[in-house]
Amino acid sequence: MSIGNSPEGERPFEDVSDEARPSVGRALQQARIAAGLTVDDVSTATRVRIGIVRAIEADDFAPCGGDVYARGHIRTLAKAVHLDPAPLIARFEAEHGGGRPAPTPAAPLFEAERIRPERRGPNWTAAMVAAIVVVIGFVGFTMVNGDDDGDRATVADDATPSKSASPTPKSEKPAAPEPEPSDSAIAAAPQDKVTVQVTAADGRSWISAKDHNGRLLFDGLLKQGDSKTFQDSSKINLVLGDAGAIDLFVNGKKIEDDWQPGAVERLTYTKGDPQAG
């Protein structure tokens, strides 16, 4: 039998040389097509930009930004199209790395770059919510603290009471008015001093009281039912923010002046029979 006619000799030799094997990019492209995936599908799955995917499939690794990143991209794309990345990495090293052994895998660096969050604009919704919370807090604080400050501001020196204020009408006086001081109470008032008692009978009122030297004895708000008594050796100066709400007793006697609700009165009383100065 002739050796040249043997079946083994008639078989074509399988070309397994490096030249016959597809390039790295071509292998990735063929595997992607075989898996029924588009470039967009691979880019979405791997977070590798479409331009880089296309460049790698064309064996152009310059857009990767270096060999380290190129190896990371090859490894990621190979896994996405169900290829073993090791032979592709080895071929890439042989063609682009001068046959040097593959360095420590750069997957951590590549993964960090790949999952880097996109830059986002300002969160306007959160800013608006924070602004609304601040406004609501300010309004609440103003409502809680505005009453006392507002009352004092409206009766400052030479100030005119606000028209929006609603003084308590005289008709709302308590059914049982405060009794007149007895003769004994009048007699008990020191004759050598001036004694002034201020009672907020019909509503609240800001008052100020000073002695004969101008020293401030009291400056504040009397709530309905509150009472203050002031005494000096010669003179008491008063400012009543809402004189219509006040019952006034001087040296044991009630002052019967017909003050109007909301009226600001400036009064001075001395020793003896009550007489406003």
| 72-92 residue pLDDT tens | 999 999 999 999 999 999 999
Could you tell me which residues come within 8 angstroms of residue 137 by beta carbon, excluding any fewer than 6 positions away? none
In a domain, 47, yes or no: yes
The pLDDT of residue 233 is above 60: yes
In a domain, 174, yes or no: no
- Which helix (H) or strand (E) segment is 41 a member of? helix 39-46
- Domain boundary residue among 114, 141, 156? 114
In a domain, 88, yes or no: yes
More confident of the two residues 250 and 96:
250
User: What domain range includes position 76?
Assistant: 15-114
- Domain boundary residue among 114, 141, 165? 114
In a domain, 145, yes or no: no
> 253 — phi, psi (to 5°)?
-115, 140
What is the CATH classification number for the domain harbouring 98?
1.10.260.40
The answer on 185 and 100 residing in a single domain is no
Winning range, highest mean pLDDT, from 6-10, 119-123, 156-160: 119-123
Half-sphere exposure of 267 (CA within 13 A, CB side): 27
In a domain, 138, yes or no: no
In a domain, 163, yes or no: no
| 150-179 residue pLDDT tens | 555 444 444 444 444 455 555 555 555 554
DSSP result, 73-118:
HHHHHHHHTT--HHHHHHHHHHHHSTTPPP-S--HHHHHHHHTPPP
Specify the number of domains making up the chain.
2
8 A C-beta contact, residue 161 and residue 259: no
In a domain, 63, yes or no: yes
The token duo for 93 is: 């090293």
The answer on 27 and 109 residing in a single domain is yes
- Domain boundary residue among 64, 97, 114? 114
What is the CATH classification number for the domain harbouring 206?
2.60.40
- The distance from CA 24 to its chain's CA centroid, rounded to whole angstroms, is 54
